[in-house]
Amino acid sequence: MDAGLNQKTKNVRDIRSDLVFNIVLYSLAAIMLVIIIYPLYFIIIASFSDPSAVTNGRVWFWPGGFTLEGYQAVFEHERLWIGYRNTIVYTLMGTLIGLVINIPAAYVLSRKDLVFRKFLTFMFLFVMFFSGGLIPTYLTVRDFGLDNTWLVMVLPFSVSIYNVIVARTFFQTSLPADLWDAAQIDGCGNLRFFFTVAVPLSKAVIAVIALWTAVYHWNSYFNALIYLRDENLQPLQLILRNILITNQMQSGLGTGEAAALMMRRANLMRYSSIIISTVPIMCFYPFVQKHFNQGVMIGAIKG
Domain limits for position 271 = 69-298
> What's the pLDDT at 92?
92
Residue 7 vs residues 18, 195, 234: alpha-carbon distances, Å: 16, 58, 71
Residue 1 vs residues 11, 12, 13: alpha-carbon distances, Å: 15, 17, 18
Separation of alpha carbons 160 and 167, rounded Å: 11
* Residue 141: inside a domain: yes
Of the residues 15, 30, 55, which one is the last residue of a structural domain? Answer: 55
* Residue 63: inside a domain: no
Core vs surface per residue 110-149: b (16+ CB within 10 A) or e:
bbeeeeeeeeebeebeeeeeeeeeeeebeeebeeeebbee
Separation of alpha carbons 96 and 142, rounded Å: 23
* Residue 303: inside a domain: no
Determine how many CB atoms are found less than 10 A away from the CB of residue 262. 18
Same domain, 157 and 23: no
* Residue 196: inside a domain: yes
Separation of alpha carbons 274 and 159, rounded Å: 28
Summarize pLDDT for 129-181 with one digit per residue, the tens.
887 788 888 999 999 988 889 999 999 888 888 899 988 988 888 888 778 88
Same domain, 45 and 75: no
H helices then E strands: how many in the chain? 14, 0
Same domain, 182 and 47: no
* Residue 61: inside a domain: no
Same domain, 256 and 215: yes
Same domain, 126 and 231: yes
* Residue 118: inside a domain: yes
The answer to whether 120 touches 165, Cβ cutoff 8 Å, is no
Q: Which amino acid is at 164?
A: V
The answer to whether 290 touches 206, Cβ cutoff 8 Å, is no
* Residue 17: inside a domain: yes
The answer to whether 153 touches 223, Cβ cutoff 8 Å, is yes
Q: How many domains does the chain have?
A: 2
* Residue 124: inside a domain: yes
What DSSP assignment string belongs to 204-239?
A: HHHHHHHHHHHHHHHH--HHHHHH---GGG--HHHH
Separation of alpha carbons 229 and 250, rounded Å: 23
Counting as low any pLDDT under 70, the low residues of the chain are 1-15, 247-248, 250-260, 287-303
List the CATH number of the domain containing 242.
1.10.3720.10
Determine how many CB atoms are found less than 10 A away from the CB of residue 209. 27
Same domain, 267 and 119: yes
